[in-house]
């Protein structure tokens, strides 16, 4: 891909309208200064003094952060938060991002705000060290009224957007945004607008999902296809190609240190090798950067090979951002693509996320 072609594609991002349907959470970082540690007089236990708190959208919100960093013109989050302090922080974070149109984001007392609380020990001159995470999740089925609200929001948006992303992040099925009712609506939309880009990702796997564009990791592909998760790359390529042919839609697979591949319904499979490492890494958020960049690039008219190259570079940029779930700008992606040396030693290549 030439620089002119890259700039032609990314120059269309400000015109895109993308609906992002899924489980938004609050990523809350607690920065701990170990020099201020104490022992509690009451309990005798160590006290970790938090000297800074920062919050940002997480889970599906990480995809949103990346779409905003790319300059996508209109990003429509479809999801929910609770009417609690975490929900207030999450809604405020969403509204602060450029391009976000949050009219279909629901706050409801019927749900707790999905929250990842991440304590980080900050020492001068060292990468942040993350302690055990504290999570807030919903463990009961999403109420019927909330489900219907989300289905209606998606139905309204689907008439006017250039792409839809589905991000199912919850551990327990039907406790989040993506429910059988919502997937039925996705099926209807896909039938009504067969040319509309709909990219789906689910941490529990995509079995039972309608025939849309699939994005998954190597292990999820193996579970879906009933193949060996330790199969060599050539077998993974074959499996992905067969899946795309069966779906009649493209599918994308993250491959950790082997990079990223995309298969199309004609059976063709393109592969983007991982880029070389440039220092310490943290793979959190790389899969979401891939989702955002694949969607934006494809919606702007990129070929599968072009979209893979852009998404691969974005993931490489994100994993080199420590102590945060990062994003990649168009300018940074363009610079890395221009400088990339894909002939580097495979042992030094960027490791893409194992979770998708």
Q: What is the pLDDT of residues 119-150, one digit of tens each?
A: 999 999 898 999 999 999 999 999 999 999 99
Task: Say whether pLDDT at 341 is over 50.
Answer: no
pLDDT at 277: 76
pLDDT at 146: 98
Task: Say whether pLDDT at 183 is over 60.
Answer: yes
Rg (the chain; Cα; Å):
20
Task: Convert the pLDDT of each residue in 39-82 to its tens digit.
Answer: 999 999 999 999 999 999 999 999 999 999 999 999 999 999 99
> What's the whole-number mean pLDDT along residues 145-169?
97
Average pLDDT, the chain: 92
pLDDT at 352: 47
Task: Say whether pLDDT at 259 is over 80.
Answer: yes
Q: Identify any residues that bridge with 200 across adjacent strands, giving them in sequence order.
A: 166, 214
Q: Identify any residues that bridge with 266 across adjacent strands, giving them in sequence order.
A: none
Nearest to 103, CA basis, from 59, 177, 156: 156
Q: Hey, how many other C-beta atoms are within 10 angstroms of the C-beta on 84?
A: 17
For residues 147 and 180, give the distance between their C-alpha atoms in angstroms, rounded to a whole number. 9
> What's the whole-number mean pLDDT along residues 230-238?
95
78, 106 Cβ separation under 8 angstroms: no
Share of the chain above pLDDT 70, in %: 95
Task: Say whether pLDDT at 237 is over 60.
Answer: yes
Residue 326: pLDDT band with limits 50, 70, 90: confident
pLDDT at 6: 96
CA distances from 222 to 31, 254, 338, 344 (A): 38, 12, 34, 28
Quickly tell me which residue has 């990791």 as its tokens. Answer: 217
For the domain 3-348, what is the CATH code? 3.40.1190.20
pLDDT at 355: 44
212, 166 Cβ separation under 8 angstroms: yes
Nearest to 354, CA basis, from 319, 321, 324, 323: 319
> What's the whole-number mean pLDDT along residues 104-127?
95
Tokens of 243: 């899946």
Task: Say whether pLDDT at 228 is over 90.
Answer: yes
Tokens of 249: 């839609």
> What's the whole-number mean pLDDT along residues 162-184?
97
pLDDT at 282: 67
Task: Say whether pLDDT at 346 is over 80.
Answer: no
Q: How many CA atoms lie within 13 A of 37 on its CB side?
A: 8
For residues 269 and 71, give the distance between their C-alpha atoms in angstroms, rounded to a whole number. 29
Higher per-residue confidence, 343 vs 248 = 248
Residue 227: pLDDT band with limits 50, 70, 90: very high
For residues 48 and 121, give the distance between their C-alpha atoms in angstroms, rounded to a whole number. 9
The distance in angstroms from the start CA to the end CA of the chain is 25
Q: How many CA atoms lie within 13 A of 76 on its CB side?
A: 20
CA dihedral 221, 223, 229, 231 (to 10 degrees): -60
pLDDT at 353: 45
């Amino acid at each position: 891909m030439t620089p002119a072609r890259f700039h032609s594609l990314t120059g269309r991002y400000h015109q895109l309208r993308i609906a992002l349907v899924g489980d938004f959470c609050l990523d809350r970082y607690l920065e701990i200064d170990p020099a201020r540690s104490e022992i509690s007089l009451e309990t005798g236990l160590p006290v970790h003094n938090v000297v800074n708190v920062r919050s940002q959208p997480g889970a599906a919100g990480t995809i949103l952060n990346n779409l905003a960093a790319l300059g996508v013109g209109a990003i429509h989050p479809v999801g929910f938060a609770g009417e609690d302090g975490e929900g207030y922080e999450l809604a405020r974070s969403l509204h602060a991002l450029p391009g976000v149109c949050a009219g279909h984001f629901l706050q409801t007392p019927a749900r707790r705000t999905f929250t990842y609380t991440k304590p980080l020990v900050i020492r001068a001159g060292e990468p942040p060290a993350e302690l055990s995470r504290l999570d807030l999740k919903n463990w009961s089925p999403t109420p019927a009224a909330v489900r219907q609200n989300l289905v209606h929001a998606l139905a309204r948006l689907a008439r006017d957007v250039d792409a839809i992303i589905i991000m199912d992040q919850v551990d327990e099925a039907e406790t989040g945004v993506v429910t059988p009712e919502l997937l039925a609506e996705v099926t209807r939309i896909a039938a009504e607008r067969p040319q509309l880009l709909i990219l789906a990702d689910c941490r529990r796997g995509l079995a039972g999902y309608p025939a849309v564009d699939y994005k998954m990791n190597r292990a999820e592909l193996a579970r879906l296809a009933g193949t060996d998760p330790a199969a060599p790359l050539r077998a993974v390529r074959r499996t992905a190609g067969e899946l795309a042919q069966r779906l009649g839609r493209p599918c994308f697979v993250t491959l950790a240190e082997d990079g990223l591949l995309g298969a199309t319904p004609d059976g063709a499979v393109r592969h983007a090798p991982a880029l070389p490492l440039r220092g310490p890494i943290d793979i959190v958020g790389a899969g979401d950067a891939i989702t955002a960049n694949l969607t934006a690039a494809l919606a702007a008219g990129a070929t599968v090979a072009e979209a893979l190259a852009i998404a691969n570079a974005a993931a490489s940029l994100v994993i080199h951002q420590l102590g945060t779930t990062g994003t990649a700008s168009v300018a940074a992606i363009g610079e890395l693509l221009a400088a990339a040396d894909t002939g580097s030693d495979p042992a030094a290549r960027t490791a893409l996320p194992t979770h998708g």
